[in-house]
Amino acid sequence: MSNWLLRFAHKIHRQSTYYCCYILFPHIRPSEMGKKLLLMDVDCGVDDAQAIMMALAAPNVQLLGITCCHGNTPIDNVCKNVLRVLKVCHRMEIPVFRGACLPLLEDEMSGAVYHGTDGLGDAPDPSAPGLEQVQTEHAVNAMIRIIAEHPGQVRRTQCREDNYNRQHSVGTSQF
């Protein structure tokens, strides 16, 4: 990994950004067409918004879809935030899927202290896309379908912060 990227990652970490998902992208196995196929699973606060933008900016990454789940903010805000990021990046063609509306394994916790009540710092956006842009297919079904359509080529990325000891991790799964 290049020196400037390491310095940039260190600077971002020092500025209390949760984690740097872009460190993942060089490790994603390329598809037959040369692009690295990525499926992101997010609870879109500012950290995941940054990760989405970095994935979109990577010339060697093809983002196949974004699945949303409750986390930093309620599921409707998560979906709206992902759509806001895609709109700003002029990438509204990327499908967004709604998933779990409550935590499945842990107690519900709020990320409002870090991300604002809407998940993106409570910055108003009157021109934000509406939820009608979200696909009707459930996120879990979408993951299964997308992975089956690209066997052995898809990397699913999930960014996570442990709310108890503030450790950050990026979970990846190769399919």
Under 8 Å between Cβ of 56 and 80: no
Residue 82 confidence class, pLDDT cut points 50, 70, 90: very high
28 pLDDT band, cuts 50/70/90, is very low
- Contacts with 43 (C-beta within 8 Å, 6 or more apart), sequence order: 68, 69, 70, 71, 72, 73, 78, 111, 119
Examine the pLDDT at 44 and tell me if it is beyond 70.
yes
Active site residue 122: no
**Numbers of helices and strands, H then E, in the chain:** 5, 5
For residue 33, what pLDDT is reported?
A: 55
Count CB-CB contacts under 10 A for residue 59. Answer: 6
* Mean per-residue pLDDT, 128-151: 93
Task: Give 30's DSSP letter.
Answer: B
User: What residues does each domain of the chain span?
Assistant: 41-158
Predicted local distance difference test score (pLDDT) of residue 26: 46
pLDDT beyond 80 at 3: no
Q: Rounded to whole angstroms, how far apart are CA atoms 167 and 118?
A: 23
Give the CATH fold of the 41-158 domain: Inosine-uridine Nucleoside N-ribohydrolase; Chain A (3.90.245)
Among 43, 47, 48, 118, which one carries the catalytic annotation? 43
